[in-house]
């Protein structure tokens, strides 16, 4: 199969959707993307596994990375694509998450040989599975220079409005210990589950931090997500573990977030089990300001991103980033996944207007 980069963005989305590309099975789609981009004389195209990178090198004063993942979750009887002309909805696996965004990227790559900013387009593999396979993560380790930029846009579905940055996330195990005893003689032991009451009390009394960053109010969260404990129905347990998830605003580093949690649970054994950094919105940067105005005018709606996305990988590299793409993120991974075609077109139009052309 060949991609037609001269086709309209909705047709191109359909072409991408109809290429099955479940995580770790992206070779076919990466092959056609590479083949479509390589003949474009204004781009330098490189392949890294099943991640394709295409760059302009025009000597502009700013560089912007525009990225999207090529993989999808497993099929669920939702291929091939189906366009409902009456409702204006394109149905099928990956329509929302995120081949509509990928189609916009490819159209920009094909139609803007002289953009007003240098551009790096990244279409990468394995976003939907463990981070160790994530193409953007691997690229940031092997070729970080390819992701150097003043600003980045991740075209994850955001209903066609800007969601700036993202919050970080970490998980810890908060452990209490006691002494086993027969439950008929419980006073001979120490109940570790009962001792966890103070852990839960502290969580109940937690007051969320709500920092304002670049005019956006983030809302942190500290929550118990699992409780593990117990030996048998007639035994006083000697251990209890409360697993706690902390969603922290992007003005906090992973180290600062971890220290906050350790201080919060002072007196308890705390073990860090997982962590990922947040991403600063960087809306004070000239490229970001121009982007916001281009996509929404002076009164543009910009929302903070409370969940975690790959924009965080750009913060590690010192690049402010936002999420901006067609589709409702609530439909991602659902069997009935779809994307409004008007959103695909409006995202393409907004980015084309922002990047313009210098002739």
The residues assigned a catalytic role are 71, 127
Give every CB contact of residue 327 below 8 A, 6+ residues apart in sequence: 95, 96, 97, 98, 100, 101, 157, 158, 159, 339, 340, 343
Q: Helices (DSSP H) in 208-355: which residue ranges? A: 254-264, 286-296, 311-316, 341-355
3-state secondary structure of 199: helix
**What is the rounded CA–CA span in Å between residue 202 and residue 263?**
12
Q: Are 331 and 156 in contact (CB under 8 A)?
A: no
Pick from 345, 346, 348, 338: which is nearest to 94 by CA?
338
**What is the rounded CA–CA span in Å between residue 351 and residue 335?**
29
Q: Are 239 and 177 in contact (CB under 8 A)?
A: yes
């Amino acid at each position: 199969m060949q991609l037609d980069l001269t086709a309209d963005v909705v047709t191109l989305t359909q072409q991408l959707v109809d290429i099955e590309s479940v995580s770790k099975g992206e070779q076919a789609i990466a092959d056609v993307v590479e083949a479509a981009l390589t003949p474009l004389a204004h781009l330098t195209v490189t392949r890294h596994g099943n991640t394709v990178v295409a760059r302009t090198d025009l000597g502009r004063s700013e560089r912007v990375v525009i990225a999207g993942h090529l993989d999808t979750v497993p099929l669920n009887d939702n291929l091939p694509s189906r366009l409902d002309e009456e409702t204006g909805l394109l149905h099928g696996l990956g329509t929302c998450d995120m081949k509509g965004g990928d189609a916009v990227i490819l159209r920009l790559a094909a139609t803007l040989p002289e953009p007003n900013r240098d551009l790096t387009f990244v279409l990468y593999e394995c976003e939907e599975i463990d981070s160790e396979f994530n193409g953007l993560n691997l690229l940031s380790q092997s070729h970080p220079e390819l992701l150097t930029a003043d600003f980045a846009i991740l075209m994850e579905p955001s209903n066609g409005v800007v969601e700036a940055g993202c919050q970080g996330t970490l998980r810890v195990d908060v452990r209490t210990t006691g002494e086993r005893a027969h439950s008929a003689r419980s006073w001979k032991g120490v109940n570790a589950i009962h001792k966890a009451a103070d852990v839960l009390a502290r969580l109940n009394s937690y007051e969320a931090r709500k920092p304002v960053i670049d005019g956006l109010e983030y809302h942190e969260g500290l929550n118990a997500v699992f409780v593990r404990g117990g030996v048998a129905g007639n035994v006083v347990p000697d251990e209890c573990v409360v697993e706690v998830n902390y969603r922290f605003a992007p003005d906090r580093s992973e180290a600062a977030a971890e220290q906050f949690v350790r201080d919060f649970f002072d007196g308890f054994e705390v073990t860090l089990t997982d962590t990922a950094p947040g991403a600063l919105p960087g809306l004070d940067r000239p490229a970001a300001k121009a982007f916001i105005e281009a996509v929404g005018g002076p009164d543009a709606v910009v929302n903070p991103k409370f969940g975690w996305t790959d924009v965080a990988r750009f913060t590690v590299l010192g690049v402010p980033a936002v999420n901006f793409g067609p589709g409702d993120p609530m439909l991602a991974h659902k069997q009935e996944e779809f994307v409004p075609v008007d959103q695909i077109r409006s995202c393409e139009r907004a980015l084309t207007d922002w990047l313009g052309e210098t002739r």
